[in-house]
Amino acid sequence: MADKQDEKKVTPRSQDFAAWYNEVIARAELADYSPVRGCIVFRPDGFAIWEALRDELDRRIKRTGARNAYFPLFIPQSFLQKEAQHVEGFAPEVAVVTHGGGKELEEPLIVRPTSETIINHMFAQWIHSHRDLPLMINQWCNVVRWEMRTRPFLRTAEFLWQEGHTAHATRTEAEEEALTMLEVYRGFVEDYLAVPLVSGRKSAAERFPGAEETYAIESLMADGRALQCGTSHYLGQNFARAFEIRFLDEHNQLQHPHQTSWGVSTRLLGAIIMTHGDDQGLRLPPAVAPWQAAVVPIWRKDEERQAVLGAARAVREVLERAAVRVKLDDREGLTPGFKFNDWEMRGVPVRIEIGPRDVAAGSAMLARRDQLGKQGKAPASLDAIATHVSKLLDEIQKSLYAQARDAMRANTRQFDDYARLRAQMEGEGGGGMADVYWCGSAACEIRVREETRATCRAIPLGQNGAPGRCIVCGQAAKERAFFAKAY
């Protein structure tokens, strides 16, 4: 039994964060490696997290007016070449199909790295009049980008995502849509995944290929590195011109629509793991946890077994009726200690322990995953167990966000001296988030990237324009920006 418990231990985060991350994914049974390099297999618990966040985000997307559709996996190579910036941005990552049915294809097919081109080809068939606008489409699908250095959930050759694509009559409407989706993503990730964010527009160097403006939500992981959690792009009329999308406006004049695209991916699972996890494994926000509660019956003597199991089953039934996702751990041959460690590794928010004394007292012991040790344990009456657990789940959701927010704030610093910024980024750990004045020049951005490996993560919106000095060149600067090393 001791050997099985040892198997559940993981490398401490402070010792090797990358090893800790990979071990948690494996031992919490979220994913496994595919025979194809750079691809992963989602195990049921990992896919359940994706389903939970997918379903909630899908509801929020639909409330904006977008509708779901599905477009082909294969895209004619000529389509990708129609928009110069787009093809340049994705050329190194595309997978190309040259043969099918035992024959060489007349035109090679691209396995979609993103769907702007195929969707805009169809938009050209569907959009003819201003009455056809706005056209707002979303799809949930897989995409392929031939990454050289991969890491589960964060960067894989194939991954799952949603991508929205909209067309509007005016620039103002399109820009409003891009910002609306940025706010949808922000609210969803912070409220539902309990992951704190900074948001804003990207620098020109970090823009999506073919976009006029890219907006992003960014978070800071526990190792001090930033993770881009979602993007929303104002595409202007670039793709409309390339794919000859035109409509007759209210004055009977032909116009190109203004467009947006936006998306989040399974890297959100990586954000959940790296934001909330600890040295015992996962800590899952109740909103997305496959099992929100695990009931662990405890007995030593055979004569205690029936009463304890009966009480545990009754608790499960009560919680199921209260819409709590609950698992009764009645596995044989495993000690309670092993089960406790196992559920901690898997990140279940609430563990419910029931033994003979608990049954006699009409109570159970509740252990919350966000607080280890005695401070995280409290007895609860079996008669009101559903009320206790539901309240606790709400508290844990808020607690995980507060803990992550406080950690992010503690690791975000303002700098006005470039030497101090360099020293911070060269020190141990990821370096955290640097809040600095930046003049906006590409030269200064390149220097920061080359000398510190930090990149511009976001330029916050709605700044008051208070004057400052660029941290790199010392010239006048009107905006602050967040720089960090990133995944």
Q: Are 178 and 233 in contact (CB under 8 A)?
A: yes
Q: Residue 1: pLDDT above 60?
A: no
pLDDT digits (tens, 9 = 90+) for 194-224: 999 999 999 999 999 889 999 999 999 999 9
pLDDT in tens, 107-160: 999 999 999 999 999 999 999 999 999 999 999 999 999 888 899 999 999 999
Mean pLDDT taken over the chain: 95
pLDDT for the residue 274: 98
Here the tokens at position 291 are 């099992």
Rounded to 5 degrees, φ, ψ at 374 are: -65, -35
Is the whole-model pTM more than 0.85?
yes
CA 67 to chain centre: 22
Report the pLDDT value the prediction gives residue 77, as an integer from 0 to 100. 92
Q: What percent of the chain has pLDDT over 90?
A: 90
DSSP 129: B
pLDDT top residue among 84 and 269: 269
- Say if CB 10 and CB 279 are below 8 A apart: yes
* Confidence tier at 427 by pLDDT (50, 70, 90): confident
Q: Is the pLDDT of residue 21 over 70?
A: yes
Instruction: Using DSSP, state whether 36 is helix, strand or coil.
Output: coil
Instruction: Give the pLDDT confidence of 236-283 residue by residue, as tens digits.
Output: 999 999 999 999 999 999 999 999 999 999 999 999 999 999 999 999
d(CA 433, CA 458): 11
Report the percent of the chain where pLDDT is more than 70: 98
CA nearest neighbour of 119 among 102, 135, 107: 135
Any idea of the CA torsion for 288, 292, 294, 295, to the nearest 10 degrees? -160
pLDDT over threshold 60, residue 484: yes
Residues, the chain:
487
Q: Report the C-alpha dihedral over residues 219, 222, 225, 226, rounded to 10 degrees.
A: -10
Report all structural domains of the chain as residue ranges with CATH numbers, in order of start: 9-276 (3.30.930.10), 293-392 (3.40.50.800), 412-484 (3.30.110.30)
Residues 51, 54: Cα–Cα separation, whole Å: 5
Residues 330-346: pLDDT tens digits? Answer: 999 999 999 999 999 99
pLDDT of residue 453: 95
